[in-house]
Chain A
């Protein structure tokens, strides 16, 4: 199980950023996903094929070293993009936690190397694990949470991508969120602090 790390985000300027090109890709890809999700909602033609933009293509190429598969629908592309983003974030988080812990727990509190988002790394990892558990017995809801959390999609947008009614999506989100809150909250109570 992931540990909950109670470090405050460090406000010092970071002089030695890690992987700027990846970071750029993450932010841009996230925005791109949001944009696609919005346009997906607005489409008059539900079956219209959304061509992945040049940016998303490039992101894919750089991240996976191969050309993106030929997606047949905007929804499919979106779902794949969100999964990609999730993998990047989780990898990123793991790497940074490894670096941080490499110097021992005492160093973590004064780590100047920390990216502003690092405070959430552990929580992202915890959520990722909880999602993996959810996927074991309810993969559909795990997809929904993935779209909501990693893709930033609204419930209605996610419903469009998953091709379910907004009402169903809202119900599913409610129970999945309760599950996850319970999972994440239980850790805080049970495992407390690791510093």
Chain B
């Protein structure tokens, strides 16, 4: 059929209009669309019928099926070898089984016909040289290179020892091999790779399909050096041995981050791939799942850690088949993997090459140590371990603070975890060596950051639409690098005394100057480094310097990337955290709300960043009393974090969400889960785990489970004491709650001792005047009231009020409510006039507020009036409050309290009359 363009356009439009509808509606629409154009209707009907007809194998599959069924190479000779059978198709070529045809003896080999044209004599030479290098590797576990050459057409091929085996993962599953068997087999593989490395050949394409196990159970590595060979020949340069640069890994799912990023790689890339293979052998699942694109995979691999192998058996039902292949149950396997094996795999899969096993021999050694029951090297905290911990740590600083249930919170940047690193480092005997190491690492990091930023600048120049996203994500990762730089050169050592702090601050200032001078043409890098220095300043307690540096970095990012960029959002987030930590809540809210808005509205899919923005804003909103908004934000953060499989962050969100729950039973569920997660991730003695236990205890109190709460808190107190300065925050939280329990149970002396100890710890930790002191001070005031020590109670309430005025908005309900407490204490302390004035002002401020708050204010004022002798007024006020309790459901809960006060008032009045 042939039509004019106009006619075809018509037919096509009609076709689409009808074809999009479900079957039954088509006929009617067809008539409507075609009107009286019968020919049009017929044409469209024919197309519709063809559209519905069964698939045409040739048309739908394309010519490839026909071509693939036909391999013209079979039967042809490559050198002395005749190709007999096609075995496999790979990224680098096709593998055939081939037989020797020119001699007296029969020999079977694998011939790999490479997908590479060798058109110039130079390329042929390089190919020949590479082959000679590979031919040197003679090892029982490596398939040997036997021959190689090029056909007349210039098609290169290599002949290798033919391994009649199956891929190692399939072999192990077929044999139902136990973990021990798998580990022993794998260790032999590591030794073989090590041997090749010593001969200056890297594999660069290690994966189960390239590790075959023959009928005798002997593993053989195939394709050794072929990746490097292809690269060296194809790119026309470089030795094809240990260090090569590849533009594209052959098998992305097993490729190391540096290989995926196209950076120069060395033997460390093979260590990574072995780690990925080991992960799969142990668990039956991939360490990193295939993604839609190499780019996405590179991002995932560069920014996330593989899950722990033991987690792969968490879901026993889903893991049943994989467990059966390992001759054990899921829970057994999870137990066997937890600990050493988790650590060994994770150490092989460190994103930073320097943090990985230095060689395949080290990896093999560790596996064999584990098999023999000795402690493994992977347990030692390496630089990479600390580097990884840093990223987690700076998130945990947020968790440490938002976790406090009983009171308003602050002090976002408590340096607990940093101090812990410091303690460990002090303990280390080889302190000097470590310092040298740190200096070297810091230099490496700095160089990497500079290189990353340069690469970024290049890529930013030509930004196509979806490349903008790429650049942004890169910016985010170089942000992490820069942050790390700040953390590294501080590394806790400077915090020991004031002199060292001053020295650190001087270093920071000098570095900032240097950054402004040296990177003045590269705004992006300058901003990242200044930002990192700002964070460093925060660590040494130089708030003014920190704020100035963070703002400078933020301004640079805003001017360079725009006020609606993700880069600026990151700065706003950090500034918001800073303000929050400083107790400057209004500033914190402004910054964090904007950061959150940008994270939500800018198109990107870095869910961890969105979750972080939601979490931090949630903490601030809650501190500002916007509990419902806070809950929404924490629910959002929790959902995102659950999806990204980060237990420590999930625990943080659970804690924060619990703080926002009105229903204590719901809060308790969150807190139970959080505590369980933290015990798993951090152990029972970690400050964060203790924080969770305290929170759970507070929740138990609300539910009236006093004994459960007390048990938890006594345990927290004991464990926190063992942590020294690191346990101060957890200990003070526990003591505060214990004080509250004692107070409720009438033991004022015990309560006073507990809250006194808590306050001492808090003052030491936070300094006088910190917003976070309000909560323990309030409890102390109540303890003093219980003992009728009114003037002291007045002092405490006044301090609480002052602190709250500093952190809450002027119209916040908590301010007049605190005034009520202060006013009443003043009246009772004898300062009746001032006290009553304070009470009246507070009651007036609450007049339009929530019924429950109005009732509370009325009770305080009535009690004050009674002391002042205005008993009738007090009685009227209490009766009015009682009526409010009856009328307003929101105040119904106060009814019993008001009735009690009224009864007491009447009793006292009749006593006085008598």
Cβ-based interface call for B60 (8 A): yes
Q: Chain B residues with Cβ under 8 A from A133's Cβ? A: 1-2
Question: Could you give 19 example pairs across A and B, Cβ below 8 Å?
Answer: A24-B155, A27-B67, A31-B115, A44-B295, A44-B467, A45-B467, A54-B118, A117-B69, A127-B59, A137-B8, A148-B62, A151-B62, A171-B16, A174-B51, A175-B15, A179-B47, A179-B50, A182-B50, A184-B56
Binary interface profile of A, 19-30, with partner B (CB < 8 Å = 1, else 0)? 011011011101
Known contacts A57-B119, A149-B59; A44/B248 CB under 8 A: no
The answer to whether B64 and A182 have CB atoms under 8 Å apart is no
Cβ-based interface call for B745 (8 A): no
- CB-nearest residue of chain B relative to A139? B5
- CB-nearest residue of chain A relative to B123? A54
Q: Chain B residues with Cβ under 8 A from A120's Cβ? A: 58, 63, 66
CB under 8 Å from chain A, chain B span 59-97 = 59-60, 62-64, 66-73, 76
In the complex, the 4 A-B pairs of residues with the closest C-beta atoms, listed nearest first: A54-B117, A23-B72, A181-B50, A152-B64
The distance from the CB of B43 to the nearest CB of chain A, in whole angstroms, is 9
Q: Chain B residues with Cβ under 8 A from A28's Cβ? A: 115
- Which stretch in A34-42, A73-81, A94-102, A103-111 binds the other chain? A34-42
Q: Chain B residues with Cβ under 8 A from A58's Cβ? A: 117, 119, 153-154
The answer to whether B153 and A21 have CB atoms under 8 Å apart is yes
Taken together as a complex, chains A and B put the C-alpha atoms of A136 and B1 apart, in Å, by 11
The answer to whether B63 and A89 have CB atoms under 8 Å apart is yes
The answer to whether A149 and B464 have CB atoms under 8 Å apart is no
Known contacts A45-B464, A117-B66; A181/B119 CB under 8 A: no
- CB-nearest residue of chain A relative to B91? A35
Cβ-based interface call for B559 (8 A): no
Of the listed residues B49, B59, B71, B470, the one surrounded by the most CB atoms of chain A closer than 10 A to its CB is B59
Cβ-based interface call for A138 (8 A): yes
Cβ-based interface call for B293 (8 A): yes
The answer to whether B15 and A178 have CB atoms under 8 Å apart is yes
Q: Which of A32, A127, A171 contacts B115 (CB 8 A)?
A: A32
The answer to whether B46 and A152 have CB atoms under 8 Å apart is no
The answer to whether B63 and A115 have CB atoms under 8 Å apart is no
Binary interface profile of B, 270-314, with partner A (CB < 8 Å = 1, else 0)? 000000000000000000000001110000000000000000000
- CB-nearest residue of chain B relative to A121? B66
Count residues on chain B whose CB falls below 8 Å from chain A CBs. 54
The answer to whether A123 and B58 have CB atoms under 8 Å apart is yes
Cβ-based interface call for A47 (8 A): yes
Q: Chain B residues with Cβ under 8 A from A115's Cβ? A: 70
Binary interface profile of B, 543-557, with partner A (CB < 8 Å = 1, else 0)? 000000000000000
> Residues of A at under 8 Å CB distance from B?
17, 20-21, 23-24, 26-28, 30-32, 34-35, 39, 41-42, 44-47, 53-55, 57-58, 85, 89, 115-117, 120, 123-124, 127, 133, 136-138, 148-152, 171, 174-175, 177-185
Q: Chain B residues with Cβ under 8 A from A53's Cβ? A: 116-117, 234
The answer to whether A20 and B72 have CB atoms under 8 Å apart is yes
The distance from the CB of B627 to the nearest CB of chain A, in whole angstroms, is 44
The answer to whether A27 and B72 have CB atoms under 8 Å apart is yes
CB under 8 Å from chain A, chain B span 140-193 = 153-155
Taken together as a complex, chains A and B put the C-alpha atoms of A23 and B73 apart, in Å, by 9
CB under 8 Å from chain A, chain B span 665-679 = none
The distance from the CB of A44 to the nearest CB of chain B, in whole angstroms, is 5
> Residues of B at under 8 Å CB distance from A?
1-5, 7-8, 12, 15-16, 19, 46-51, 53, 56, 58-60, 62-64, 66-73, 76, 115-119, 123, 153-155, 234, 248, 293-295, 459, 462, 464, 466-467, 470
Taken together as a complex, chains A and B put the C-alpha atoms of A46 and B256 apart, in Å, by 24
Of the listed residues A31, A124, A183, the one surrounded by the most CB atoms of chain B closer than 10 A to its CB is A31
Known contacts A42-B294, A117-B70, A185-B50; A30/B118 CB under 8 A: no
The answer to whether B53 and A181 have CB atoms under 8 Å apart is yes
The distance from the CB of B464 to the nearest CB of chain A, in whole angstroms, is 5
Q: Chain B residues with Cβ under 8 A from A57's Cβ? A: 117, 119
Q: Which of B4, B123, B153, B293 contacts A42 (CB 8 A)?
A: B293
Of the listed residues B72, B115, B117, the one surrounded by the most CB atoms of chain A closer than 10 A to its CB is B72
The distance from the CB of B795 to the nearest CB of chain A, in whole angstroms, is 64
- CB-nearest residue of chain A relative to B293? A42
Q: Chain B residues with Cβ under 8 A from A149's Cβ? A: 59, 62-63
The answer to whether B115 and A175 have CB atoms under 8 Å apart is no
- CB-nearest residue of chain B relative to A132? B2
Q: Chain A residues with Cβ under 8 A from B2's Cβ? A: 133, 136-137
- CB-nearest residue of chain B relative to A23? B72
Known contacts A58-B117, A182-B46; A150/B63 CB under 8 A: yes
Q: Which of A41, A124, A151 contacts B293 (CB 8 A)?
A: A41
The answer to whether A55 and B59 have CB atoms under 8 Å apart is no
Q: Chain A residues with Cβ under 8 A from B459's Cβ? A: 45
The answer to whether B59 and A34 have CB atoms under 8 Å apart is no
Taken together as a complex, chains A and B put the C-alpha atoms of A120 and B117 apart, in Å, by 29
Taken together as a complex, chains A and B put the C-alpha atoms of A55 and B154 apart, in Å, by 9
The answer to whether A27 and B71 have CB atoms under 8 Å apart is yes
- CB-nearest residue of chain A relative to B44? A178
Q: Which of A41, A44, A184 contacts B59 (CB 8 A)?
A: A184
Taken together as a complex, chains A and B put the C-alpha atoms of A115 and B8 apart, in Å, by 38
The answer to whether B47 and A178 have CB atoms under 8 Å apart is yes
- CB-nearest residue of chain B relative to A46? B464
Taken together as a complex, chains A and B put the C-alpha atoms of A55 and B294 apart, in Å, by 24
Taken together as a complex, chains A and B put the C-alpha atoms of A151 and B64 apart, in Å, by 8
The distance from the CB of A94 to the nearest CB of chain B, in whole angstroms, is 15
Q: Which of B7, B63, B69 contacts A30 (CB 8 A)?
A: B63
The answer to whether B470 and A34 have CB atoms under 8 Å apart is no
The distance from the CB of B526 to the nearest CB of chain A, in whole angstroms, is 25
Q: Chain A residues with Cβ under 8 A from B467's Cβ? A: 44-46
The distance from the CB of B290 to the nearest CB of chain A, in whole angstroms, is 12
The answer to whether A138 and B115 have CB atoms under 8 Å apart is no
